[in-house]
Amino acid sequence: MAIKLEKKGDSHQIDLSKLSNSKNFTVQVNLDWEELEQKSTGLFAGLWGGNQSADLDLGCMYELKNGEKGVIQPVGGNFGSKTTSPYIFLDQDDRTGATAGENMYIFRPDLIKRVMFFAMIYQGAPDFKSVKGRMLFKIDNKEEVFFELDNPDSNRSFCAAAVINNINSPVVITKEERYFTGHKAADQHYKFGFNWVAGSK
């Protein structure tokens, strides 16, 4: 049965002590979306990519218990790794949302301290009001947790969607849905401490 997180701050706990092997379970995170509004025409069409489909990216900022930090996202081509640290992997860059979105996998949740998952509009829409974004977490213990990005801010194309914290079991998934102007502003809020430069894909 799926568990829906309705509002910002709602959370769900995964009790590692109840799993037969807490080092060998996977958390799958899916970002999917659909466009809600007709594309602009004329002068304003060029500002947001004309009639291009909205291209959303799933990414994360992570910190492991050993102090390692990093960013996984399509921009810059950093898709992570299944078999080496940080054991976080992004499967594809879906440019339209037509292929069931993008999926990120955490293969060693026991190693993470925190992960902030974000959705970013790369092109095709000015903000999240014109796309219906949703995020789904599938856990090996058959639990599913989902929520919608249903309270967007105008003219902000970066959404810190959810945070997973793992200080001492249980692992906690929290709906954040905080909107920012970009990576740097979100990082300042969550205090990962990265140095940001412009990138493309």
Digit-coded pLDDT (tens) for 11-65: 999 876 666 665 667 899 999 988 776 544 444 444 444 557 888 999 999 999 9
What local confidence, expressed as pLDDT, does residue 151 receive?
A: 92
Phi and psi angles of residue 60, each rounded to the nearest 5 degrees, phi first: -155, 155
140 occurs within a structural domain: yes
What local confidence, expressed as pLDDT, does residue 72 receive?
A: 96
46 occurs within a structural domain: no
84 occurs within a structural domain: yes
Which residues are paired to 153 by β-bridges?
none
CA triple 187-191-195, angle to 5 deg: 55
Mean pLDDT of 110-138: 93
Three-state DSSP state, 170: coil
47 occurs within a structural domain: no
Confidence of residue 130 (pLDDT cuts 50, 70, 90): confident
17 occurs within a structural domain: yes
Mean pLDDT of 130-135: 91
Mean pLDDT of 155-162: 95
What local confidence, expressed as pLDDT, does residue 101 receive?
A: 79
Q: For the chain, what is the mean pLDDT?
A: 86
What percent of the chain shows pLDDT beyond 90? 59
Number of domains composing the chain: 1
Mean pLDDT of 82-108: 84
7 occurs within a structural domain: yes
Q: What is the CATH number of the domain that holds 148?
A: 2.60.60.30
Confidence of residue 99 (pLDDT cuts 50, 70, 90): low
Domain span at 72? 2-37+52-190
